[in-house]
Amino acid sequence: MRTQVAIIGGGPSGLLLSQLLHKHGIQSIILERKTKDYVLGRIRAGVLEQGLVRLMEEAGCADRLHAEGFTHEGTLISYGKEVFRIDFAKHVGTPVVIYGQTEVTRDLYAAREASGGQIEFNVEDVVIHGADTDAPHVTYNIGGEPKRITCDFVAGCDGFHGVSRKTIPENVRQEYEKIYPFGWLGVLSETPPVNHELIYSNSPRGFALCSMRHAQLSRYYIQCSLNDDPQNWTDNAFWEELKRRIPDEQADVLVTGPSIEKSIAPLRSFVTEPMRWGRLFLCGDAAHIVPPTGAKGLNTAASDVHYLYHGLREFYERNSSDGLDTYSARALARVWKAERFSWWFTSLMHRFPEQTPFDLKMQMADLEFLRESTAAQKAMAENYVGLPY
């Protein structure tokens, strides 16, 4: 087979890139190692920056997002007995949109299928060949049958454990990583959200987050040990622990119910440089991971797609390689700012096992400064709603 762009990974970043390229007549084939149902079964966050919303609009995939998404103009932060609100509308005039990543992915799949886009599922043994030449190609198997795609470029959208990043030689790539000494125990329940906006809580018992997917589907998290197991937590034990960590006003009205999904996610900050090697370009989790505290995972992937999509358009429409040549530097400049924000917000809101009494005092002072300072709240709002591309 022959295409212009081979896309490794059928998650939201690969689908979005493919759909945007299709809108401008640029051919692509997506390779996904799992089934469509498996991809759609992944439970992920759903706080969308306006940059991602605009990309979905450009891709022709935003109708349901606009009809069903929730616009949030602020968020609540609590610590001790204090609760305060970061007002996005007041400080930066920009909201975020709450719309589950699963729904984003579902909309993108529908668009690619309606457009006749080629997606190969259940691919195995993917190997990227000749990425450092002008004629790369990709080989893989489906059900034991070998296949090959010849292409102009390869987009690695296959996540942290995919083959794309590892294709770049070790003597070329530099990796930066921080592993956090805790995880998040998350519960999905068919219950109304406890609050119309998200609540981030720093509790002596550990961090908690009250989030949502829609009016009758809520997502809650509590900080837990990495050695914990979701099976150790009954639904009732989870709800009781959550109530201990969130403000009394919300704990008193929290609607509980059976969990429909329960899992523990580790937290990591990770970046690899560069994000380009020859004609291979890394996007999203293939190049960087953020702790979920700042809701930047999907949004940083979207900014990567933005830069790569425009670079590929310039190449095919104007015979210019400037956008592709600057892709890695431009993407990384924004990625590192998102990494900084996610690291800072995680450090602010969680209890760390090695924290000393001095460290805890500094954390409380930082929270009080954020509560009292308009400048600090504006800086947080700017980062939370998303820095410009």
| 381 and 290 within one domain | no
Count the neighbouring beta carbons within 10 Å of the beta carbon of residue 356: 9
Note the pLDDT tens digit of each residue in 120-175.
Answer: 999 999 999 999 999 999 999 999 999 999 999 999 999 999 999 999 999 999 99
Direct distance between the N- and C-terminal alpha carbons of the chain, in angstroms, rounded to an integer: 34
For 210-238, what is the mean pLDDT? Answer: 94
- Residue 46 or 170, more confident: 170
Q: Is residue 72 flagged as an active site residue?
A: yes
pLDDT value of position 260:
94
The dihedral formed by the CA atoms of 321, 333, 310 and 379, expressed in degrees to the nearest 10: -160
Residue in 99, 180, 327, 384 annotated catalytic: 384
CATH number of residue 173's parent domain: 3.50.50.60
Measured in degrees and rounded to the nearest 5, phi and psi for residue 350 equal -105, 155
Please return the burial class of 265, using the count of CB atoms within 10 Å of its CB with bins 0-12, 13-18 and 19+: middle
Q: Which residue has the higher pLDDT, 263 or 42?
A: 263
For residue 138, what pLDDT is reported?
A: 98
Instruction: Please identify which of the residues 12, 22, 72, 109 carries the catalytic annotation.
Output: 72
In this prediction, residue 381 carries a pLDDT of 98
| Helical segments of 34-154, H only | 36-40, 50-58, 63-68, 88-91, 101-114
Q: Greatest CA separation found in the chain?
A: 63
Residue pointed to by tokens 């212009």: 4
pLDDT at 43 over 80: no
> What mean pLDDT comes out for the span 261-267?
95
Residues 274 and 298 reside in one and the same domain = yes
Q: Quick check: is 200 catalytic?
A: yes
What is the percentage of the chain residues whose pLDDT exceeds 90? Answer: 96
pLDDT-derived band at 42 (thresholds 50, 70, 90) equals: confident
102 and 168, same domain (yes or no) = yes
Same-domain check for residues 143 and 229:
no
Do 279 and 168 fall into the same domain? yes
Q: Is residue 323 part of a domain?
A: yes
Whether 344 has a pLDDT exceeding 80, the answer reads yes
Tokens representing 314 are 């310039």
59 and 127 share a domain? yes
Encode pLDDT of 356-377 as tens digits. Answer: 999 999 999 999 999 999 999 9
- For residues 45 and 155, membership in a common domain is answered with yes
- Tell me which residue range forms the domain holding 129: 5-72+98-177+268-346
- 229 shares a domain with 263: yes
Cβ 4 vs Cβ 153: under 8 Å: yes
327 among known catalytic residues: no
130 CB burial (10 A radius; 0-12, 13-18, 19+): middle
What pTM does this model have? 0.96
Residue 241: inside a domain, yes or no? yes
Are 210 and 326 contained in the same domain?
Answer: no
Q: Which member of 296, 307, 327, 350 is catalytic? A: 296
Q: Is 243 a catalytic residue?
A: no
The predicted pLDDT at position 2 comes to 97
Confidence of residue 45 (pLDDT cuts 50, 70, 90): confident
Q: What is the 3-state secondary structure (H, E, C) of 53-74?
A: HHHHHHCCCCHHHHHHCEEECE
Closest by Cα among 178, 96, 85 to 383: 96
Whether the Cβ atoms of residue 137 and residue 154 lie closer than 8 Å to each other: no
Place of tokens 């969680």: 350
Q: Based on the domain organization, do 16 and 148 belong to the same domain?
A: yes
In which band, very low, low, confident or very high, does the pLDDT at 44 lie, cut at 50, 70 and 90? Answer: confident
| H or E segment to which residue 364 belongs | helix 357-372
CB burial string 307-318: b at 16+ within 10 A, e below: bbbbbbbbbbee
* 76 Cβ neighbours under 8 A, 6+ residues apart: 83, 84, 85, 86, 195, 197, 198, 199, 200, 247
Q: In whole numbers, what is the pLDDT of the chain averaged over residues?
A: 96
* Cα 186 from Cα 219, distance rounded (Å): 7
In whole angstroms, what is the distance from residue 305 CA to residue 377 CA?
29
The total of structural domains in the chain comes to 2
The secondary element (H helix, E strand) that includes residue 324 is helix 322-325
Instruction: Looking at the structure, tell me whether residues 43 and 53 fall in a common domain.
Output: yes
Catalytic residue list contains 384: yes
> Which pair of tokens denotes residue 157?
């959208």
pLDDT confidence of residue 214: 82
Q: Is residue 82 part of a domain?
A: no
Closest CA to 56 of 15, 16, 94: 16
Determine the distance from the C-alpha atom of residue 93 to the mean position of all C-alpha atoms in its chain, rounded to a whole number: 23
- Report the sign of the C-alpha dihedral through residues 192, 195, 197, 203, in that order: negative
b/e for 210-226, b at 16 or more Cβ within 10 A?
bbbbbeebbbbbbbbee
SS (H, E, C) 112-123: HHHCCCEEECCC
Q: What is the DSSP letter of 275?
A: S
Considering the candidates 220, 292, 309, 350, report the single residue annotated as catalytic: 292
The CA distances from residue 343 to 49, 52, 265, 329, 374, in Å, are 18, 21, 16, 21, 21
Q: Tell me what percent of the residues of the chain surpass a pLDDT of 70.
A: 100
Please tell me whether residues 340 and 278 are part of one structural domain: yes
